Structure 1
Amino acid sequence: MTVAFWCVLIALCLPYVCTAFAKFSDGKFGPSQNHDPRTFLDGLQGFAKRAHSAQLNSFEVTPAFAAAVIIADIVGNAQPVTIDVLAVLFVTSRLLYIICYLADWAMMRSIVWFIGMGLVVSFFFVSM
């Protein structure tokens, strides 16, 4: 497996890291909330709510990243190391995005989000 494919796996796991922060950061999530966790998550505030929002955004962007990596690999015009570097940069951008979201740095979070989306688009350009 390539580094880029491992990065897809990491990107698939990142939303669940955010879920853990959302559920367990305030100490209120327990067995009774597990019967209807979506209602519990919808009622969160502050740090836990931001963690939940980061989770949702991570679920939204990961399919685009995975598709970009797979398409770049299938087309085969890009150097494998280029695809690997872009994938590592994307995962790094997602980690920074999550940190910015949790820290409530809204402007920096938006900048990092745009960088991440630019990286997704770049997979298509390096494969031309």
Structure 2
Amino acid sequence: MPASTATTIRVSPEIKSTLERIAIDTRRSTSFLAAEAVSAYVERELQSLDGIKRGLADARLGHVVPHDDAMAESTPSSMRRRPPVMATCEAAGFLVSLGAGRHQGTDRLHRPG
């Protein structure tokens, strides 16, 4: 087992309770679960920050593509003709109809056919 070090964190009572429930259900210690969560967060954030730094370095060197060109290359033509919400939902196999009374429950989300 790799060496480890102790640290203290503060969480809300709700998070502590949920962590304890997960620990019981998975037969793991709360310490193990917290360490796993922190490890996953640190790795994800590090990748994100490294990507941002690479992007900024590219921009400083002039390695950029105009937004419209990037969107044209990354978006299938069938999705470019629809508003983003429609395209996203269609990609998932749903059709969306937004009614005029949006907050009155008139929106529709359904599978075609």
- Same fold by TM (over 0.5)? no
TM-score normalised over the length of structure 2? 0.30
TM-score normalised over the length of structure 1? 0.27
Instruction: Select the structure that is richer in helix.
Output: 1
Instruction: Select the structure that is richer in strand.
Output: 2
Higher relative contact order (Cα pairs below 8 Å, separated by 6+ residues): 1
Larger radius of gyration between Structure 1 and Structure 2? 2
